[in-house]
Amino acid sequence: MRWANRIGLRLGMFLSLLTIVTARADDQFPSTDLVSPVDANADPQASGGCGCRPSCSSGDRVGLFDNSSLFLGLEGSKQPQDYGINAHFGGRFAADMGVPLIEEFGLGLQVGTSMNYTDNAVQVFERFGEAQGRFQSFTTVGLFQRQDSGLVWGAAVDYLHQTYYDSADLFQFRGRLGWRLSEENEVGFLAAVSDDGDRQRVAGVPITLRPLNQGSVYYNRRWENQAETMIWLGIAESHGERNLAFEALLGDPPQRSAGKRLVFGAQIHVPLNDYVALFGQGNFILPADTGTVDSYLGLVIYPSGGAKRSLRSRYSPLLPVANSTTFSVDLR
């Protein structure tokens, strides 16, 4: 089957990357003292303002688990895939890590996974005899780089497996390209591009699910208390406006897809101490009744104590593990 071949290909890529991580870990992480040395006589301006050698950033560590994190929080979601009659609320758990891949170039590899379990926030699906909740598993594998010049970029493949009114497997490509104007300010672009779709049936009605293509410009700000906020604004491709209740009960034909729509959102990261931070995202595609209303909020635990430097450490994952806020699913 086509979907089985696609899953096999992506899983093969995923396992290959994990093999590379393990091999690199054996070669690169023999010592527990992994902070790049600082020359007391070094000129801070010559090293990007951190007093380190050019190959490091302030407080950087390159241990295998020094840039790892665990997330636990609440999740709320409504997307076109909810067929105009449902929404979700529940919990989310995620694990993420970043490691050097080619250290001499500052190239990093990130691998993350997450699980969401949510209940229906509306009773209609249950009245149709469909699912009472939804389980989602996201996997993100990508490359990233933070250059001393100020350029930052990341590219990843996201995989979503979900069990809802049916079982679905979807893929998308996601990227970020930015420039640090200063230690506090960064601007750039965010993008998510669909790979393919998956055919489903809901209450006997055939549908197709696929990720929505979208792109935005963003502004990221680091504050004096080490908190960081990001906001973005952009355009999403047209999305379906189908409604199961109207189609199944009233016999209405499927609504035509809307044109390109406005997308906007925000992200926050607030360190509470060296080991715990508050993290959340929200992403919205207009109009609210047929677009997306996605958000989550919770606590991130940094076992190595890097909460205050996590978003600036050279080998900290640049893109968060995929979730509803970064993986919008359309229904046609």
Q: What are phi and psi of 249, to 5 degrees?
A: -95, -35
| Residue scoring higher pLDDT (64 or 188) | 188
56-95 b/e with 16+ CB inside 10 Å = b? bbbbbbbbbebbbbebebebbbbbbbbbbbbebebebebe
Give 165-194 as a DSSP string: SSEEEEEEEEEEEEEESSSSEEEEEEEEEE
In a domain, 132, yes or no: yes
Q: What is the pLDDT of residue 196?
A: 82
In a domain, 61, yes or no: no
Residue linked to tokens 């595609």: 285
Residues 6+ away with beta carbon under 8 Å from 330: 79, 80, 81, 209, 210, 211, 212, 239, 240
The per-residue pLDDT for range 168-203, each reduced to its tens digit, is 999 999 999 999 999 999 999 999 999 888 888 777
Q: Is residue 6 over pLDDT 90?
A: no
pLDDT band at 205 (very low <50, low <70, confident <90, very high): confident
Average pLDDT over residues 31-49: 37
| Residue scoring higher pLDDT (44 or 92) | 92
What CA–CA distance (Å, rounded) separates 124 from 272? Answer: 40
Strand pairing report for 107-120 and 133-146: antiparallel
Q: Dihedral angle at the C-alpha atoms of 244, 139, 233, 195, nearest 10 degrees?
A: -70
Q: Is residue 320 over pLDDT 80?
A: yes
Q: Which domain CATH number covers 25?
A: 2.40.160.160
In a domain, 54, yes or no: no
- The residue range of the domain holding 223 is 2-31+68-331
In a domain, 156, yes or no: yes
The pLDDT > 90 percentage for the chain reads: 58
C-beta of residue 172 within 8 angstroms of C-beta of residue 156: no
| Residue scoring higher pLDDT (127 or 240) | 240
In a domain, 229, yes or no: yes
Average pLDDT over residues 96-110: 94
Could you tell me the strand order of the sheet in which 205-211 lies? Answer: 198-202, 205-211, 329-331
C-beta of residue 310 within 8 angstroms of C-beta of residue 68: no
In a domain, 96, yes or no: yes
Q: What are phi and psi of 3, to 5 degrees?
A: -65, -35
Q: In DSSP terms, which residues pair with 214 in a beta bridge?
A: 192, 236
What CA–CA distance (Å, rounded) separates 56 from 38? Answer: 9
> How many CB atoms within 10 Å of residue 115?
13
In a domain, 279, yes or no: yes
The per-residue pLDDT for range 109-134, each reduced to its tens digit, is 999 999 999 999 888 777 767 778 89
The number of folded domains in the chain is 1
C-beta of residue 319 within 8 angstroms of C-beta of residue 144: yes
Residue linked to tokens 């290959």: 16
List C-alpha distances in Å: 306 to 99, 201, 318. 14, 45, 15
Cα-based angle 144, 145, 150 (whole degrees, multiple of 5)? 140
In a domain, 37, yes or no: no
Residue linked to tokens 């809901």: 202
Q: What is the pTM of this model?
A: 0.81
Average pLDDT over residues 23-29: 47
What CA–CA distance (Å, rounded) separates 308 from 286? Answer: 34
What does the radius of gyration of the chain's CA atoms come to, in whole angstroms?
21
